[in-house]
Amino acid sequence: MKKELLFVDGYNMIGAWPHLVKLQRKNDMAAARDILLHELSEYAKYENVEIRVVFDAQFVPGIQKQYDRYNLLVIFTKEDETADSYIEKAVGEENQFITNVVVATSDLAEQWLVFQRGASRKSARDLYKELKHTKQKIMMDTNEYNLKNTRQIKSLSEEQEEQLRDFMENLEG
């Protein structure tokens, strides 16, 4: 089975997802980045996808750095390097027989370039829809799990429940 690898143009998602656009307009990019990373982390864990989120130095100037956050690889490009150029290079290196590479960006030129390099492409809107769908699946699975556990607890007969109540009262008294 091929490893699933998703490159995400971080600022592209922030500029396209409604709840993150609001933070961007308030000039709270740190909060927008953190929420994006948190949501992508849930998605990655549930869908079993390795995600690399790339932010360009346009908003965070300085030396290139990368770190793990929420089990994601977060990459800030070096100054004057765009996320697009970083992703293009990385796709060329990562797109191998054993890896299925997908790039999430709404930049049409970037989509065509990564497609030419053999990667799949996904718009910011499509990723947002998938993320919402995954959240719904997580909620349904959680509810189902809780329902099963509630049934297990409720599997006592009325007589057993009465005995349990009596036992608890004796412990307290």
User: What pLDDT score does 72 carry?
Assistant: 95
Average pLDDT along the chain, 173 residues, taken 10 residues at a time = 89 96 94 96 95 82 72 89 86 80 81 69 94 93 79 69 82 69
Residue 173 lies in a domain: no
Residue 64 lies in a domain: yes
Q: Which tens digit of pLDDT belongs to each residue from 123-133? A: 999 999 999 99
User: What pLDDT score does 25 carry?
Assistant: 96
CATH of the domain at 54: 3.40.50.1010
Q: Which tens digit of pLDDT belongs to each residue from 4-38? A: 999 999 999 999 999 999 999 999 999 999 999 99
Q: Where are the beta strands (DSSP E) in 85-138?
A: 99-104, 120-122
User: What pLDDT score does 173 carry?
Assistant: 59
The single-letter code of the amino acid at 35 is: I
Angstrom distance (rounded) from CA 121 to CA 114: 7
- Number of domains observed in the structure of the chain: 1
4 bridge partner residues: 100
User: What pLDDT score does 27 carry?
Assistant: 93
Domain that holds residue 39: 3-133
Q: What are phi and psi of 89, to 5 degrees?
A: -65, -45
Angstrom distance (rounded) from CA 121 to CA 127: 10
Residue 77 lies in a domain: yes
Angstrom distance (rounded) from CA 42 to CA 40: 5
